[in-house]
Amino acid sequence: MATSSTADVIRIHSHGGPEQMKFETIDLSPPDAGQVQLRQTAVGLNFIDVYTRTGLYPGPTPAVLGVEAAGVIEAVGEGVEGLKVGDRVVYNGLPGSYASRRNAPAEKMVLIPDAVSDEDAAAVFLKGLTVWMLTFEIRRIQPGETIVVWAAAGGVGSILVPWANAQGARVIGVVSTPEKAELATAYGCWETILAGEDVAARVKQLNGGKGVPVVYDSVGKTSAEASLKSLAPRGWFITYGNASGPADPIAPARLNQGGSLIMTRPGLFHFTHQRADLERGAAALWGAMRSGAVKADVRQRFALKDAAEAHRALEGRKTIGATILKP
């Protein structure tokens, strides 16, 4: 049984810039019933952490940032079944992950396969389940179709591009620099477009004069209109992020003008809050890693105490692939 102890965390006391992120030590009580206590070995950095910090996604303060981590179970609360001390687990969607240790609901824990390191698990779990949501749950990729992926060299992009490829898609990636274009090509993009170009015109030029059946848009404000213009009639505008700010409102008539377009704004939580769905998504992700379709690509590592620096890099479009915070 664990005794009361402490944890190092990154906490905000009010919303704002990275300077609000404070490295603090807090008390940690033993796990309650239904909880496990984790020693966290790798924390996943996600753009959603920026939205939480700025208050774009509202929440109370003070708050420990972060929603994803991998670690080792140190103690198990009453009534927890199927998990034991020493198990390696990963989770996402649980606020408070920027921490060296924490208590968390056992029902959110997923065992990490032996072949996957803690760091790789923290690099792919949220981002990989997002790709599962996008390409299996919302709309299945049709083999041979051409699709557009924004931020193709980023964290989600590093998984979406190869996994969509493995499902038979031909991927056009949109990125901001030639260096990122090179990396997006290494991930499996058939063609890349620089974000400063006329994206819709280039998409159609590359695709034989036609629009594409689906655009995966995580950029939001600055990309939405180009995404809509890139679509073929009855195409899918899957707008799933706000890296450049929230997209402006889109009138239903705009979807009609574009050719009976379909628009959705998904959030991963709605696809994984049932335990059976979480397990189904995790099984698909681990399977894709086993087959080699998906690989973790950790390109940046920061000490947990330097999380503010990691946020500056992510917001400044300086990161590629996935980023890990090391407690």
Residues near ligand NDP (CB under 6 A): 46-48, 126-127, 130, 151, 153-157, 175-176, 180, 195, 218-219, 240-244, 266-268, 314-315, 317, 319
d(CA 214, CA 261): 10
3-state secondary structure of 52: helix
Question: Least CB distance from residue 14 to ligand NDP, whole Å?
Answer: 22
Cβ distance to ligand NDP smaller for residue 195 or 325:
195
Q: Which of 221, 209, 211 is nearest to 257 (CA)?
A: 211
Cβ distance to ligand NDP smaller for residue 12 or 160:
160
Most distant CA atoms of the chain, gap in Å: 66
**Is there a contact between 203 and 148 (Cβ–Cβ < 8 Å)?**
yes
Q: Which of 201, 215, 116 is nearest to 164 (CA)?
A: 215
Question: Least CB distance from residue 265 to ligand NDP, whole Å?
Answer: 8
Cβ distance to ligand NDP smaller for residue 84 or 273:
273
**Is there a contact between 175 and 192 (Cβ–Cβ < 8 Å)?**
yes
Q: Sign of torsion, CA 190 170 313 305? A: negative
Question: Least CB distance from residue 154 to ligand NDP, whole Å?
Answer: 2
Q: Sign of torsion, CA 241 139 152 159? A: positive
Cβ distance to ligand NDP smaller for residue 156 or 282:
156
Cβ distance to ligand NDP smaller for residue 77 or 155:
155
Cβ distance to ligand NDP smaller for residue 181 or 232:
181
Q: Residues 47-76, buried b or exposed e (16+ Cβ, 10 A)?
A: bbbbbbbbeeeeeeeebbbbbbbbbbbbbb
Question: Least CB distance from residue 184 to ligand NDP, whole Å?
Answer: 8
d(CA 123, CA 183): 17
- The encoded tokens of residue 137 equal 């749950």
Question: Least CB distance from residue 99 to ligand NDP, whole Å?
Answer: 19
Cβ distance to ligand NDP smaller for residue 89 or 184:
184
The shares of helix, strand and coil residues in the chain, as percent rounded to the nearest 5, are: 35, 30, 40
Question: Least CB distance from residue 159 to ligand NDP, whole Å?
Answer: 8
Question: Least CB distance from residue 97 to ligand NDP, whole Å?
Answer: 13
